[in-house]
Amino acid sequence: MGYSFVVFADGCANLPQEMLEGIKLIPDEYLMEDVPQVYLGDVDHFDGKSFYDQLRAGKVAKTSLLNTHLFETHFRPELEQGNDIIYVSMSSGISGTYNAAKIAADELMEEFPGRFIHIVDSHGCGFGNGLLAVKAATLAKDGVDVKEAAAIVDDAVPHTCQYFTVDDLNFLKRTGRVSGVAASIGTVLNIKPILYGDSTGHIVTCGKVRGRSQAISALVKKFKEKVMDTPDQHICISHGDCLDDAKALEKMVKEIVPNVPITIAMHEPFSGSHVGPGMLGLFFYGKER
């Protein structure tokens, strides 16, 4: 039996090959020192070490939203074959990609009145939308109707938790997340923020600790408070080229839920350019955000 609809994601979903079954990826592009870099979306083939080393060396990566034409180019062939579509977008609170996809979907549904396209606002990024794309693909494989599946995935958005910390506040300063003064003081005092994607899809601070080990412990504390006991629980950890810290986080999480699968992957370049080397994120299904 085939899939009941087609699921799309893009490189922002942070998905490794092992999690891509039933998901079609839209290629993204970013600029490194104004040189275009094409990213096909499979994080296993992303040279994260080189990317984050360049950021450490002071090079600047620039990203842009996926445009409406790009979505139309990828969606139209599926509609011509009689397929319905769910696309899981990164948060509308941090990117215009969701709105671009929504415009494309509305225009194409006028062109193909018998077809249905649903754009999920994940209110997240990285594995924060990747986990939702995996959920959608599982529903498609199980033969769930596309409109029913769309409602199920939308209902999962408030339960898709994403907590992370960063090693260098100056990357957040560049994007306006913290002031220059706060970044300077934080660097001197070794202050590490604990951040999360809130219910509106914006990245906000929910705590500050001193030192990296305390930051990792704070992520684990949030996990313990929020984690939901659900059969489709899948914990994901992404990192900005700090694998040892990711493994330390994995070990602490496993002590709480020893039988739940955990995936570790390099953090994708699109939000990675804003959080910088040393970013460490924990993604899971929780009771609330």
pTM exceeds 0.85 for this model: yes
- Spatial distance between the Cα atoms of 227 and 224, rounded to a whole number of angstroms: 6
Residue 279 burial (CB < 10 Å; 0-12/13-18/19+)? Answer: buried
Is 101 found in the same domain as 23? yes
47-103 pLDDT, tens digit each: 999 999 999 999 999 988 899 999 999 999 999 999 999 999 999 988 899 999 999
Please indicate, yes or no, if residue 1 is contained in any of the structural domains: no
Tell me how far apart the alpha carbons of residues 177 and 203 are, in angstroms, rounded to a whole number: 8
Query: Which residues constitute the domain of residue 230?
Result: 159-285
Is 115 found in the same domain as 233? no
117 within 8 A of 109, measured Cβ to Cβ:
yes
Q: 171 versus 240: which is more confidently predicted?
A: 240
pLDDT for 207? 86
User: What is the mean pLDDT of the segment spanning 201-214?
Assistant: 88
Residue 117 and residue 169 share a domain: no
Residue 140, domain member (yes or no): yes
Shared domain for 102 and 182, answered yes or no, is no
Residues 131 and 256 in one domain: no
Indicate whether 193 pLDDT > 90: no
Choosing from 127, 157, 187, the residue where a domain stops is 157
Residues with Cβ within 8 Å of 174's Cβ and at least 6 positions away in sequence, in order, are 274
Q: Between the ranges 52-61, 176-185, 188-197, where is the mean pLDDT highest?
A: 52-61
Total number of domains in the chain? 2
**In a domain? residue 167:** yes
**Percent of the chain at pLDDT exceeding 90:** 76
Calculate the alpha carbon distances from 50 to 14, 76, 104 in Å.
Answer: 17, 35, 34
Q: What is the CATH number of the domain that holds 130?
A: 3.40.50.10170
211: domain CATH number? 3.30.1180.10
Residues 95 and 185 in one domain: no
Backbone angles phi, psi at 74, to 5 degrees: -85, -35
